[in-house]
Structure 1
């Protein structure tokens, strides 16, 4: 996956109407680094295959990224998921959680109170959640029948024991 479009040679940001706006990657990096506004950008698997990434900065020092994998083939979606998981286990800044919801069982915003504000309410469980231990324990208490596996560092993967 790359932020720079393989043919256009620039990053692609979506404006409020969903139109593509070309931008030098350095400028996109600068805007992301300012951490003052939400941005929606595209990651590229190929020149014709993209993943929409909604980036929202949270004022208390973290960010939320929602990647929309609509329209990807199953193998492409799994490649993106693997890349995200690999990146989160290697980042120097701790990741609170990664929620993988292939079936759309919950709205991404449903997870904010649990992941960011330390609330106990657990949304309907999606396909996979990878999270830090305090979050894992809350989810396991609220959702029986999950398997638990360390994925590296401080993150644990939760998934239903039997997935359809």
Structure 2
């Protein structure tokens, strides 16, 4: 019985991956917390399911944040800087309905999932949008943080 437990322990130790995350080398993960009061006209579009907005505040993310209401008081927030190169003059993405576009190379991403549409198949590692925590804290306030 001890041999079986010893074998299981060895297998578990050998199967552990030292690199636990697939860290994006282009974007720094900065700490911040920002509140969106949905009673304010600037953020009121988020009171409707499916709507998304760009928050270009210097206190939220590197280049701002895209926030989407995915329904049932659930929100998602993503970094507005293109995830596939270091921040520069063209890396702040633009929101067009439910699609976010990086002007540098016209890469497109889903504002719902943060996933890149049609990544090139050239052997290069491409990253999806960096997601931040978004929580609805009653009283019509969405808290975005990292």
Question: Does the pair score TM above 0.5?
Answer: no
Larger CA Rg, structure 1 vs 2: 2
TM-score, normalised via structure 1 length: 0.27
Structure with larger RCO (C-alpha < 8 A, sep 6+)? 2
Q: Which has the higher helix share?
A: 1
TM-score, normalised via structure 2 length: 0.29
